[in-house]
Amino acid sequence: MFSWSASRSELVGLDIGTSSVKAIQLRRARNSYRLIELGMARIHPETIVDGMIMDAGTVSRAIRQLFEENNIGVKDIAVSVSGHSVIIKKIKVPKMKKSELREGIAWEAEQHIPYSMQDVNLDFQILGGAGPGEGEMDVLLVAVKKDAMNDYLAVISAAGLRAAVVDVDAFALENAFEISEKVKPDEVVALVNIGAAVTTINVLRGGVSAFTRDSALGGNRHTEALQKSLGLSFEQAEALKTGGSVEGHDFAEARSVLEMVNGELAGEIGRSCEFYRSTVQGDAIHRVVLSGGCALLSGLSSYLSKTLDLPVEIANPFREITADPKKFDPEYLAFTAPQMMVAVGLALRDPEDDAT
């Protein structure tokens, strides 16, 4: 979304999440991509809260460690933000040239964004030119609060890197999805990325974003519920959630607690899908593509499919990306693929791109 011009040959997709920092470097070869570097570093769950960086030093150190341990030498990165500091709205504006809209976007945004224009960074994408005789066109408006963005830029700079692109999670998901699957012109797909603290939903209609929403409900809710119900520490609850064993407790005991939270997630996703259907008449969602750290939770995808009455599949952004099996274990790539969706989408970005 927000680009700073730079003369560079490559950039790295850097996904700064609530529970981990992930980096992906890709290289384009004609019409395909090759995986060059990949890495993940865990961070303490209280380091980033509600999308706000609470401990900048810890985040910077995690980023430096990630780049050093994985021998990533590229210094230009693409990063994304999500949560309540991001507002995405589809609006209609009078038909005009892109250059004219860029000059007047702040005035248009004032009517839709509940913040002072001095406090946000703005960008937009024209979704389609107005037809003959039409006086308006559809525009996707994006606003990110400057204080949140500046916090991310500061930790990146402290890690010795430079942000060439700042995107939003919803559009990074879209980028990754588009290279991993052929999108049918009439298909409506809900991309659902369940992270530790935020669930991002991006509904694509014919490959174009038609509805986006961030919900403050994620995988940490499973962990918190296990802690409360079974009297576990955070680390014990995390282990049990992912199928591990904890002294005195087994996964069967955790199942009912996890299913309760799965019900909350299903309700949140279902309400978003229903809101989309109510705003775009006659458009049924055909399938859900699930990503994020929670995507591989035992039984979640089948539970969502049954509850939402929709096909639910697990995302694999590496499907069309070649990787040297001597360097990257295929089983590890398959396991981490859903968690890498945002990072892959960011690695596909270019500073000279228009808004995604």
User: Distance (Å, rounded) from C-alpha 105 to C-alpha 1?
Assistant: 14
Total of domains in the chain: 1
Distance of CA 155 to the CA centre of its chain: 19
Per-residue pLDDT of the chain (356 residues; tens, 9 = 90+): 555 444 446 899 999 998 899 999 999 887 889 999 999 999 987 888 777 888 999 999 999 999 999 999 999 999 998 888 888 888 888 888 888 888 888 888 998 888 899 999 998 888 765 566 678 888 889 999 999 899 999 999 999 999 999 999 999 999 999 998 887 888 999 999 999 888 999 999 888 888 888 998 999 999 999 999 999 998 899 888 888 878 888 888 888 899 999 999 999 999 999 988 888 656 789 999 999 999 988 889 999 999 999 999 999 999 999 999 999 999 999 999 999 999 999 999 876 554 33
- Position 193 in a domain: yes
Residues 83, 214 contacting (CB under 8 angstroms): yes
Residue 152 in any domain: the answer is no
Give the burial string for 224-247 (b: 16+ CB within 10 Å, else e): ebbbeebebeeebbbbbbbeeebe
Report yes or no on 190 lying in a domain: yes
* Residue 295 belongs to a domain: yes
Give the predicted TM-score (pTM) of the model: 0.90
Q: Is residue 330 part of a domain?
A: no
The DSSP result for 160-195, as a single string, is T-EEEEEEEHHHHHHHHHHHHSPPPTT-EEEEEEE-
Query: What is 217-269 written as a DSSP string?
Result: --THHHHHHHHHHHT--HHHHHHHHTT--BTTB-HHHHHHHHHHHHHHHHHHH
CB-based contact 345:176 (threshold 8 Å): yes
- Domain extent, residue 249, equals 183-315
Please say whether the beta carbons of 178 and 207 come within 8 A: yes
In a domain, 65, yes or no: no
Residue 72 domain-assigned (yes or no)? no
Q: Determine, yes or no, domain membership for 279.
A: yes
Kindly report the CATH number assigned to the domain that includes residue 227. Answer: 3.30.420.40
Q: Answer whether 194's CB lies under 8 Å from 95's CB.
A: no
